[in-house]
A = this chain, B = another copy of it.
Amino acid sequence: MTEQTCGTTNIAGVSFSVYPMCDGFVDIIKDALKEVDTSKVYMKTDDVTTTVRGKLTHVFDVTKATFMHAAKTGEHVAFQATYSLGCPGDSSGDAYMAEDEQTINTEKVKTMKQPVGAKFSLYPLGGGNYMDVIYEQIEAMKQHVTVSSAHYSTRLDGEAVSIFDGLERVFTATVEGGSSHTVMTVSISANSPSHKGGVFNE
């Protein structure tokens, strides 16, 4: 269990996957990765998930960009991520903490229009006074996206870029609120046939 090896640095990380639901999924993933500048993060892909580690803002920057470039193909693309801060586990990504805060993928994706449905859950495992800041950030999200409650999560509907930016803000606020180990799970669905009339039992 990673809980046993929590460290003291504030390196953030994510374990995430992009799932294009089409025969050409390999090319979509490869093409998306080609468009993303990953020079400011540690990144390793295996057959189950991709791990990204570094400063929190770059972790969000890289995951957001990878999803945006995959979703722009118009195929049904799902995104699943567990963001984490406070349990580094090992030191393979520590060198990337020397990078500056300037995100390098924002410019390319910030004007992309991509409506999505998303669900997120925030698990502050390490104490702190964060509930007020979480609620403030969720209130702030309502200016840009539709917020509703769902089983085991909070549902967000709107533009993908706004949703990623809102998620980064609520995660940051939780950490700044004193949570020493913060975990957030995110599921996003783009271009789902369900959005165009519902093929499943909704």
A156 to B8, CA, bound (A): 28
In A19-59, which residues have CB < 8 Å from any B CB?
A: 19-23, 25-26, 29-30, 44-49, 51, 53
Cβ–Cβ contact A13 & B49, under 8 A: no
The contact of A51 among B121, B151, B154, by CB within 8 Å, is: B151
Copies of this chain in its oligomeric complex: 2
Q: Does A111 contact B (CB under 8 A)?
A: no
Given A188-B48, A202-B47, are A15 and B78 neighbors across the interface (CB < 8 Å)? no
Is the C-beta of A192 less than 8 angstroms from some C-beta in chain B?
A: yes
Shortest C-beta distance, A58 to chain B (Å), equals: 16
Interface positions of A (Cβ within 8 A of B): 1-4, 13, 15, 17, 19-23, 25-26, 29-30, 44-49, 51, 53, 76, 78, 80, 82, 84, 87, 89-90, 117-119, 121-123, 125, 131, 134, 149-155, 183, 185, 187-189, 192-195, 198-202
In the bound complex, how far is the Cα of B201 from the Cα of A51, in angstroms? Answer: 12
